[in-house]
């Protein structure tokens, strides 16, 4: 799928988690619901860091472009070293390592550790990165052509600063789910894991499929492209994605948010 659909699906997924939590009698504080949805929307773009034309690869200028090249080479090296006889030869690392459950868990766990160990500045950095991606994904029409625009970065930095301040207030969620001393913001890794997995599931719906289950072998392949039957798949950017899936994601997100806030 394309960036906007990925971001919408990420936000909808976190709002759905919020609705499930409310139904179970453990409602999220509204700042956690909002911040988590935005982080998840941004994280749902992150697996495409292995592709030079992706939104995330252009979002931070030379820094993200350089990181994209490193991730692409790393992904390709892992693919070559772990492929089985049934896996095809390829020339790049797109839709390999960063599109697996292993990567999602590692990135989420790393973010949680960074938030706990690095303190406020690490939290602000995590929020800033994902706010930039969320803006690029959810407001793609307004941000089109300005992936490195300083205005996007300023909006993301301002949003990150305000949201961190709101979360820090008692009862607003800095210690949501993990309440032991020193575990503030440990939960930040959860929307990051969810966003990456939602991205992978979205890509699995396209014609190429997605090797989400790596390194679990399936038959003669370790990088088996999981997906529905061929007749149910679509091309990225097709009318199915734009005219059907994106409106459905927006509807599900709205319903999930309303349920999470106990409006319905």
Give 158-176 as a DSSP string.
Answer: HHHHHHHHHHHSTTSSTTS
Task: Give me the residue spans of the domains in the chain.
Answer: 2-261
pLDDT tens string 145-204: 544 578 889 999 999 999 999 999 998 999 998 888 888 899 999 999 999 999 999 999
**DSSP character at residue 242:** I
Helix, strand, or coil (residue 173): coil
Which whole number is the average pLDDT over 45-72?
Answer: 90
Residue 1 CB-half CA count within 13 A? 30
Which whole number is the average pLDDT over 13-22?
Answer: 96
Q: In sequence order, what are the beta bridge partners of 218?
A: 221
Under 8 Å between Cβ of 79 and 96: yes
Q: In terms of Cα–Cα distance, which of 50, 47, 53, 64 is closest to 6?
A: 47
Which whole number is the average pLDDT over 45-56?
Answer: 89
Cα end-to-end distance, the chain, whole Å: 31
Under 8 Å between Cβ of 203 and 1: yes
Length of the chain (residues): 264
């Amino acid at each position: 799928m394309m960036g906007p659909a990925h971001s919408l699906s990420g936000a909808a997924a976190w709002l759905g988690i919020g609705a499930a939590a409310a139904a179970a009698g453990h409602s999220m504080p509204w700042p956690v619901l909002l911040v988590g949805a935005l982080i998840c929307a941004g994280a749902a773009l992150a697996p495409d860091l292995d592709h030079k034309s992706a939104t995330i690869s252009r979002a931070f200028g030379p820094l993200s472009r350089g990181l994209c090249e490193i991730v692409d080479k790393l992904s390709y090296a892992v693919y070559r070293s772990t492929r089985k006889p049934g896996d095809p030869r390829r020339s790049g690392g797109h839709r390999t390592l960063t599109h697996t459950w292993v990567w999602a868990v590692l990135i989420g766990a790393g973010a949680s550790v960074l938030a706990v160990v690095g303190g406020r500045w690490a939290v602000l950095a995590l929020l800033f990165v994902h706010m930039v991606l969320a803006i690029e994904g959810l407001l793609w029409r307004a941000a089109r052509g300005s992936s490195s625009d300083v205005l996007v970065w300023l909006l993301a930095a301002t949003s990150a600063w305000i949201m961190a301040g709101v979360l820090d207030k008692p009862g607003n969620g800095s210690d949501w789910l993990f309440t032991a001393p020193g575990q503030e913001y440990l939960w930040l890794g959860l929307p990051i894991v969810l966003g990456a997995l939602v991205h992978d599931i979205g890509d699995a719906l396209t014609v190429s499929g997605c090797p989400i289950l790596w390194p679990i072998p399936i038959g003669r392949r370790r990088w088996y492209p999981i997906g529905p039957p061929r007749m149910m798949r679509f091309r990225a950017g097709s009318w199915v994605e734009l005219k059907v899936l994106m409106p459905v994601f927006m509807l599900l997100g709205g319903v999930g948010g309303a349920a999470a806030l106990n409006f319905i």
